[in-house]
Amino acid sequence: MYFGILKRDLKRKKTMNTILLIFMILSVMFVSSSVNTMLSVMSATDRFLDLSGAEDYFAATIGEKSGEDALKKLNELDCVSSLKSERIFYFNENSVKYKGKTAEISSNGVLNSVDDISIRIYDTNKNELTKVNDGEIYVKSSFLEKNNIPVGAEIEITSGGYTGKFKVKGTVLDVLFGSEMMGTPRFIISRNEFDKFVQSSTDEKYDMYKGTILNISTDDLSKVENIVSGIDGIAFTGTRDVIKLTYIMDMITAGVFLIVSICLIIISLVLLKFTIGFTISEEYREIGVMKAIGIRNSKIQNLYMVKYLAMAIFGAVVGFFAGIPFGDMMKAQSAKNIVSGDENDIFVNLICSAGVVLIIALFCRISTRKVKKFTPVDAIRNGESGKRYKKKGLLSLSKSHTRPVFFMAVNDILSGFRHFAVMTVTFVVGILMITIIINTISTVQSPKLLAWFSMADCDVALEDKECIDKYNRPDGQKLRSDYLEEMEKTLAENNIPAECFGEALFKLSVQKGDKKTVSLAFIGSGTTTDQYAYIDGTPPESVDEIAISYITADKLNVKIGDTVTVKTGGENEEFIVTALFQCMNNMGEGIRLSEKLPMDFSKVLGYFSYQIKFTDNPSDTEQNERYDIIKKLYPDYKFRTAGEYLDYTISGVAGAMSGTKDFIILMVMIINILVVVLMEKSFLTKERGEIALMKAMGFKNHTLIAWQTIRIALLMAAAVIIAILLTDPLSQLAVGGIFRTMGAKYIVFDTNILDAYIIYPLAVFAVTVLASMISALGLRSISSQEVNNIE
């Protein structure tokens, strides 16, 4: 009997069931593949760390002495059970040339000899890389992609006192420097070639190019951290967990798909509730008759359960199989920088599929409770049990000055909002997905984000790739300040009133009591500390004051007013903490020192671009004209607007998100089309009699189509407004976590009003309304004589 009912019902409501099934399939497919991908990447990262022989703690030093010092001190520690070291040779951002042009690299890189490397690295075929021939080089895959360099091409690297030419042999999978978030690229060459760099750089001025990476196994991380933080010339430190965290950006696509799949499940459930409700109210006669002949509620509920459970199981089977290749595709993208094994755990897909079926079954059970409401009397009295209903029409046509169809559309929504809630929820969820992702992309590309990267507000960033060569000397601070002053003058002579400034970065040991850490230190040239953003306190004014990032403060248990000890160039100096700030550099760890504090710039870790801030608020046209002038004045520097500079700095985030944005917009449009077709079909069935009556009264087809379409358009417009209001709080919830992982605490999303709130919602609006209009064309087949079908 159940099978017969199922078969009949499937035939009768083909479109409705098909759309519901599509949602079930998509839900299962996305949820199983995205969960599997995320779990796989997470476990693969662990596995990759183990496989590579990565120990508990990594540190990179600058300068030969620093490396030796670190090795000596760490060897003395009892808690260090294993200490591996490898020589590295740093190269600057402008050091690599391809076809005579400087290749794009987002930060300084390191060269390693394949024989020295302390961890295992792999080629793209996942074979351990143990040998590199002289004249050959293995590079990070994103370096080749970014610069369109094919394997086999020749690149030239100049660093220290040597220039070497290398044939790109392939790309390398490197657990330490391989993630998208890790800007530093590591290139692998032969020991002979590596030695050429070292031997040609014996002059002391090249000392900063030489470094050591330490791979430490310990059972007492804090002790090791304390020791390392006391060593001069530390460029980078990170625990195994921090390394793992750098792969978070590689999972961003899977994360977005997981959010999409959750939205799809919500939409499926809402649609399911509507469809069950609709089917049950349509079949009140059958239900009434079944009750009249003594069939129990639970038995009747089972009839409906069988149908939707069968659909859910079918959807889960299809979604399960479709999820496997889809998951593989996602994993290929997410785990491209990882040596992943056979993490494709079908069991995860199975559990996810079964989970979705279970949720649907539970929801079905709850939704079919409506069956209990119908009595045998309903079958006799055409669904009217004699009860008086609450007043439906909330508006009055006589008081309205609008066209009747518009009035009816508004009145229908207000009179029976529950019927339209499904669509509203779906539309809101869809628009939210779009607005959140657009605003997130806009935020990561917004000049406002400069403050989160410990930079002062500016209009232009000029990248001087020779900064390190020019200023890494004891008097570099003055040289840089002088140069920036000169730049201001040059700009003023060209009628550009502007301030010029820049940031120098150090790695300094910060201590409070027995707690120590190595933190990124920012010192401005040409700025004052009040030009930066703080989350609490007042900017450091004198040389013995300091601002500290809240993550560093938490680590050291420091609050405003406390005193910390900072090792500034060999000397321990005490500073009073006057402010807390947030930064997304160095996983949120940072300190800001007064620009007046004299520093030895020979120990500088790196520099941000020169920044230019126009002081006279020029118009957009004027700004563009100035950009051209600046480009002509400084042709050797890479010109970027503030937004472009940020985009370049964190291209991994923006790039990964932009890729999914178009997909999400397409998905939302498809979802809306499917939902509108389903709902419109049900409306045409439910309102068949009323449509016929209106036709009999003389309403034309196009008027009735307008009536149906206006309702959807109004709901869509309301959904856009609701979604806009919810965008910020939900962005904090959905995306804020990523920023918090990177070190930001107080996130203010940048709102791209044009794209997020106008263009894309309008595009979705247009597609949805068009789908509604096309679906409503179905009412043309309703004859005015069908007025007799009215119930």
Nearer to another protein, 5 or 693 (CB): 693
Under rule CB under 8 A, which residues in 674-713 are in contact with another protein? 689-690, 693-703
Residue placing its CB nearer to another protein in the complex, 347 or 389: 389
Of 346 and 394, the one with the shorter C-beta distance to another protein is 394
Nearest to 300 by CA among 312, 311, 313, 286: 286
- Kindly list the distances between the CA atom of residue 480 and the CA atoms of 393, 450, 475, 511, in Å, as whole numbers in the listed order: 75, 21, 9, 29
- The window from 11-19, 71-79, 171-179, 401-409 that contacts another protein (CB under 8 A) reads 401-409
Residue type, 521: A
Question: Which one of the spans 134-142, 170-178, 410-418, 736-744 is the region binding another protein (CB under 8 A)?
Answer: 410-418
Helices of type H across 735-759:
736-742
Nearest-5° Cα angle at 94, 89 to 95: 40
User: Applying CB under 8 A, which part among 40-48, 119-127, 402-410, 737-745 lies near another protein?
Assistant: 402-410
Distance CA 167, CA 653 (A): 30
Q: What is the CA radius of gyration of the chain?
A: 33
**Helix-helix angle 346-367:297-334, to 10 degrees:** 150
Rounded CA-CA distance 355/716 in Å is: 31
Q: How far is CA 272 from CA 387, 407, 513, in A?
A: 28, 30, 61
Nearest-angstrom CA–CA distance, 660 and 24: 21
> Which of the 8 DSSP states describes residue 613?
E
Nearer Cβ to another protein (392/596): 392
757 DSSP 8-state letter: I
69-75 CB contacts, 8 Å cutoff, 24+ apart: 69/231, 69/232, 70/212, 70/214, 70/228, 70/231, 70/234, 71/212, 71/214, 73/227, 73/230, 73/231, 74/214, 74/216, 74/224, 74/227, 74/228
Contacts of 536 by beta carbon, 8 Å cutoff, 6+ apart: 560, 579, 580
Q: Which is nearer to another protein, 127 or 685 (CB)?
A: 685
Residue 779 CB, shortest distance to another protein, in Å, is 13
At its nearest, how many Å lie between another protein and the CB of residue 370?
Answer: 19
Q: How far is the CB of 423 from another protein (least distance, A)?
A: 17
CB of 706 to another protein, least distance (A): 12
**CB closer to another protein out of 143 and 707:** 707
161 or 383: whose CB is closer to another protein?
383
Query: Sign of the CA dihedral 175, 180, 186, 189?
Result: positive
Site for another protein in 438-477 (CB under 8 A): none
DSSP designation for 128: B
Number of residues that bind another protein (CB under 8 A): 38
Determine the interface stretch with another protein among 412-420, 423-431, 535-543, 766-774 (rule: CB under 8 A): 412-420
Among 144, 227, 364, 787, binds another protein (CB under 8 A): 787
Binding window for another protein (CB under 8 A); candidates: 230-238, 249-257, 395-403, 442-450 = 395-403
- Contact flag: residue 598 with another protein (CB under 8 A): no
For residue 268, give both structure tokens. Answer: 């499926």
Which of 325, 341, 393, 729 binds another protein (CB under 8 A)? It is 393
Q: Is 381 in the site for another protein (CB under 8 A)?
A: no
Residue nearer to another protein on the CB measure, 72 or 702: 702
Site for another protein in 477-536 (CB under 8 A): none
Nearest distance in Å: CB 699, another protein: 6
Among 72, 372, 392, 478, binds another protein (CB under 8 A): 392
Amino acid code (one letter) for 170: G
Site string for another protein, 415-434 (x = CB under 8 A): xx------------------
Pick between residue 204 and residue 384 the one whose CB is nearest to another protein: 384
Which residue lies nearer to another protein by CB, 663 or 699? 699
Tokens found for residue 248 = 């978070």
Shortest separation between residue 389's beta carbon and another protein, angstroms: 5
Q: How many residues does the chain have?
A: 791
Coil, strand or helix at 628: helix
CB 310, CB 14: distance < 8 Å: no
Query: Do 275 and 365 touch, CB atoms closer than 8 A?
Result: no
Select the residue interacting with another protein from 37, 411, 527, 731 (CB under 8 A).
411
Nearest to 111 by CA among 143, 87, 147, 85: 87
Task: State the nearest-atom distance from the C-beta of 400 to another protein, in Å.
Answer: 9
Candidates 197-205, 304-312, 406-414, 725-733; binding stretch for another protein (CB under 8 A): 406-414
Among 135, 355, 376, 404, binds another protein (CB under 8 A): 404
CB of 343 to another protein, least distance (A): 56
Rounded Cα distance between 681 and 81, Å, is 70
615, 498 Cβ separation under 8 angstroms: yes
Taking the complex as a whole, how short is the minimal distance between the CB of residue 7 and another protein, in angstroms? Answer: 23
The CB-of-265 to another protein minimum distance in angstroms stands at: 32
Please name the residue that has the structure tokens 């190269």: 91
Nearer to another protein, 543 or 693 (CB): 693
Residue 397 interacting with another protein (CB under 8 A): yes
Closer residue to another protein in complex, CB, 266/414: 414
- Bridge partners for 213 per DSSP: 60, 86
CB of 421 vs another protein, minimal distance in Å? 16
Select from 11, 131, 391, 418 the one that contacts another protein (CB under 8 A): 391
Between 227 and 694, CB nearer to another protein: 694
DSSP string, 506-523: EEEEEEETTEEEEEEEEE
Report whether 453 contacts 583 (CB < 8 A): yes
Closest by CA position to 708, among listed 644, 772, 661? 772
Least distance between another protein and beta carbon 691 (Å): 10
Nearest approach in angstroms of CB 687 to another protein is 9
Q: In this structure, are residues 96 and 105 in contact, taking their beta carbons and an 8 Å threshold?
A: yes
Is 790 one of the binding residues for another protein (CB under 8 A)? yes
Q: Which of residues 766-785 bind another protein (CB under 8 A)?
A: 783-785
Nearest approach, Cβ of 270 to another protein (angstroms)? 23
Q: Least distance from C-beta 288 to another protein, angstroms? A: 19
Q: Smallest distance from the beta carbon of 401 to another protein, in angstroms?
A: 7
| 8 A C-beta contact, residue 546 and residue 575 | yes
Cα separation, 34 vs 319, in Å, equals 12
Q: Which of 131, 293, 294, 398 binds another protein (CB under 8 A)?
A: 398
Neighbours of 402 (CB within 10 A): 12
Does position 281 interact with another protein (CB under 8 A)? The reply is: no
Q: How far apart are the first and last CA of the chain?
A: 28
Q: Which two tokens stand for residue 287?
A: 């239900």
522, 608 Cβ separation under 8 angstroms:
no
349 residue type, one letter: N
CB of 785 to another protein, least distance (A): 5
Q: Is 396 near another protein (CB under 8 A)?
A: yes
Candidates 125, 617, 781, 788: give the one binding another protein (CB under 8 A).
788
Taking the least distance from each CB to another protein, the nearer of 18 and 701 is 701
Q: Which is nearer to another protein, 214 or 710 (CB)?
A: 710
Look-up of token digits 């390398």: 172
Q: Which one, 75 or 785, has the nearer CB to another protein?
A: 785
The residues that touch another protein, with contacts defined as CB under 8 A, are 384, 388-389, 391-393, 396-398, 401, 403-405, 407-408, 411-412, 415-416, 689-690, 693-703, 783-785, 787-788, 790
